[in-house]
Structure 1
Amino acid sequence: MDLLIPIKENKDFRRIYARGKSYVSPVVISYVLKNRSKNVRVGITTSKKIGNAVKRNRSRRVIREAFRTLVPEIAPGYDIIFVARGKTPFVKSTDISRAMVVQLKNAGVLK
């Protein structure tokens, strides 16, 4: 893979939500959209529905760690957003990683 770039701009998040394909599991939602570069761009969001700041931060950390293990297998040229769900702060990164593998295989992102 060439580069892993974080998605930070609100317009990018909105574009991926609008045009991307979503894949849902009880622990995480993935939005995937093909981009025109050779880079993989990743964003993680957690809403206030998840809980207080501690739970939201744990959700982000767990999602980031689960994704980190999958990085070598991801094909270049995709924008991916992961959205935390209510169960996310209470599960381990291995559980989230399993859900991500299923979602990203369905999306055709994994090599």
Structure 2
Amino acid sequence: MKRHPHRPPAPPPGKVAPIKENREYLRVYKRGRSQVHPLIVTYALKNRLGYTRLGITTSKKIGKAVQRNRARRLIKTAYRNLLPEIAPGYDIVVVARTKATFSKEQMVERALRSQLKKAGVLP
């Protein structure tokens, strides 16, 4: 089976496919639909891959590395819990806000669910 040279392979079921390159983030920021919440900002854009990819950004405004990594873990866990319900074929970028590091996992998941519903990624 030949793979397209610019198309990354689909991840195994249950795994989070990452957005890796800066130009991919910029494309989602520029063309994607944004949703704002006190904990996170979400951008969603259709892709042609047939599976959904996730990118997480945490700026130094959030705090030192421990706080930024905590925010990333919370967002990734929330995304993983919602993954079976998420429609395939989207690039999703989640920008963590300062309040996300001090929030509980359920609050972040609730925020992500509402943002993805507004963006049309969740039914």
Indicate the TM-score class for this superposition, using the shorter chain for normalisation: over 0.9
Structure of higher CA gyration radius: 2
**2:120 pairs with 1:108:** yes
List alignment gaps of at least 5 residues for structure 2: 1-9
3-state SS of 2:98 partner: coil
What is the count of residue pairs matched by the alignment? 110
- Larger CA deviation: 2-11 vs 64-73: 2-11
> Normalization by structure 2: what TM-score?
0.86
Aligned to 1:63: 75
Structure 1 Cα separation of the partners of residues 68 and 17 of structure 2: 21
**Structure 1 regions of 5+ residues with no counterpart?**
none
Structure having the higher helix fraction is 1
Structure 1 residue 65, shift from structure 2 partner? 0.7
Of residues 50, 59, 72, the one that matches 2:62 is: 50
Percentage identity across paired residues of the two chains: 56
Alignment of 1:1-111 (within 5 A): 3=11, 4-111=16-123
Amino acid at match of 2:105: S
TM-score where L is the length of structure 1: 0.94
What letter matches 2:58 in structure 1?
A: T
| Amino acid of the structure 2 residue aligned with 1:110 | L
In structure 2, distance between residues paired with 1:11 and 1:37:
16
Distance 1:89 1:79 in 2: 23
Alignment RMSD, CA only?
1.1
